[in-house]
Amino acid sequence: MLEPVALKDFFITFFSSALIIMAGASYALLFAWSKVKPRLIIKLSAYASYIILLVSVYQLTLAANLDGYWRIISYLMVIGYFFAPIAIWHLCKQTYDEPDLITTLEKDK
């Protein structure tokens, strides 16, 4: 029978999971903030948060005995999470920076 997490690794799993949530949220927030206020220190802080996210995902895959396809899925999700805030930023910019859209909607009324 497969033991998902050994009892000795319970706290490592718990804290690395919590760190994934915190680092992912801070990466997204700092990335958005660096786009609003373009300062290098904010952008570097966002990338530092992403590195913390990478390390915590690696630690979680080791502690939770994720092997094979599960490890590949974990790393694909981390790679996708790097590009998600960038894509969302471009989507928001394209959506809200289009002045013709507002005038078109006002003309239709």
Mean pLDDT of 7-34: 92
pLDDT digits (tens, 9 = 90+) for 28-48: 999 999 998 889 999 999 999
Domain ranges of the chain: 4-107
Q: Structure pTM?
A: 0.79
Mean pLDDT of 77-100: 87
pLDDT value at residue 17 = 93
Length, in residues, of the chain: 109
pLDDT digits (tens, 9 = 90+) for 45-76: 999 999 999 999 999 999 888 888 999 999 99
Alpha helices (H) in the chain, listed in sequence order: 10-36, 40-63, 69-96, 99-108
C-alpha 92/C-alpha 83 separation (Å) is 14
